[in-house]
Amino acid sequence: MDEPSAPAPDERRALAMLAVSALVIVAFVLYALHGRGAFEQTQRLVLMAEDGAGVSVGMDLTYAGFPVGRVQRIELDEGGKARIEIEVPRKDAKWLRAASVFTLERNLVGGARLRAFTGDLNDKPLPEGAVRPVLRGDATEELPAIVASLKRLLANLERITAEDGNLDTSLANVRSLTARLSGPKGALGVALGGDAEAAKVILAIDRANALLASLEKLSTRLDGAVQKADAKLLGEGGVADEAKASLAQLKAAIADARESLKKVDLILADAQKIAGNAKSASQDLDVLRAEVDASLRKLNALVDDLNRRWPFSRDKEVKLP
């Protein structure tokens, strides 16, 4: 075996190859660690889920489709809930706020997804070590209920579409109905329940037509009568003119009556005066009558006294003067 004193080209190339390979290995390891966020400052977020199925270490927490955190640890806590610890890089922590909502979604295809929703980006920042519940959105969980409902639906459908079922009977009814509809007096017969009823309706319509014809004749005659009445009432020398003349005469009569009433008014004034005099005279008569009454009472008393004093007298009639 030859032993070269200076590095042979083989040795140089081999050294270069090995050096490059070593550099690539180191770079690859550093790149993988960088990809895992080993050189980033992070803060911890703990999500509590009822069921941690589908969640795995290394899984992303996404916000608006972008990964903002990575699951570092999953464990069952004392309360029997899945405790999911997530490392959130400080540079991405701004997307998570105190009021952020976290969901764990499991789809039919693909793995589970942890998603964050932040309604207000001006809210307080998410504190270090914050513990938040995670809401579940599981499409597969609804499947059993959907399948059960579907089974019931199919059973109902089968019952409805079965021979002698409701749908079959209904279709038979529809068939007979359409057959009747396509016949003479079809729609009317269907609507009224029989051909006899339909015939009655048609007869009634004929009669109504005849009635309308006679009404039309009557209307024509009435029209002529109205024209004549119009001529009598409003024509030359008609009732309207006479009424107008009568109204003029009535107006003159009313004027005469007004004059007469004025005269009566004067007479009444005079009568009022006469009545005033009569009233005073009647007052004098009252006094006079009172005096006569007094005299009569005195005379009566006198007669009574005479009768009492005159015992033979039986005639009690008193003759007044």
- Which residues would be at the binding site for another protein (CB under 8 A)? 1-4, 8-11, 13-18, 20-22, 24-25, 27-29, 31-37, 58, 60, 67, 70, 109-111
- The smaller minimum CB distance to another protein, of residues 59 and 198, is found at 59
Our CB check for another protein shows the closer of 16 and 160 to be 16
Tokens 């007298």 sit on residue: 313
CA–CA separation, 140 and 150 (whole Å): 15
Q: Left, alpha or beta for 164 (phi > 0: left; psi -120 to 50: alpha)?
A: left
Cβ proximity to another protein: between 70 and 132 the closer is 70
CB of 13 to another protein, least distance (A): 5
**To the nearest whole angstrom, how small is the minimum distance from the Cβ of residue 134 to another protein?**
20
Q: Which is nearer to another protein, 29 or 278 (CB)?
A: 29
Q: How far is the CB of 89 from another protein (least distance, A)?
A: 11
Q: How far is the CB of 155 from another protein (least distance, A)?
A: 34
CB of 138 to another protein, least distance (A): 17
- Decide whether 115 or 189 has the Cβ nearer to another protein: 115
Cβ atoms within 10 Å of 69's Cβ, excluding its own = 27
CB atoms within 10 A of CB 312: 5
Q: Work out whether strand 101-106 and strand 113-117 pair parallel, antiparallel, or are unpaired.
A: antiparallel
User: Measuring CA to CA, which residue among 151, 150, 170 is closest to residue 160?
Assistant: 170
Residue (14 or 222) nearer to another protein, CB: 14
Half-sphere exposure at residue 48, Cβ-oriented, CA atoms within 13 angstroms: 10
CB of residue 43 vs another protein: minimum separation in angstroms?
18
Decide whether 27 or 191 has the Cβ nearer to another protein. Answer: 27
Min separation Cβ 54 and another protein, Å: 14
Query: Which residues have C-beta within 8 Å of that of residue 241, sequence separation ≥ 6?
Result: none
User: Of the candidates 99, 83, 15, which has an alpha carbon nearest to the alpha carbon of residue 47?
Assistant: 83
> From residue 122, how far is each of 46, 67, 98, 100, 180 by CA, in Å?
22, 20, 10, 11, 73
| DSSP element (H, E) containing 248 | helix 239-309
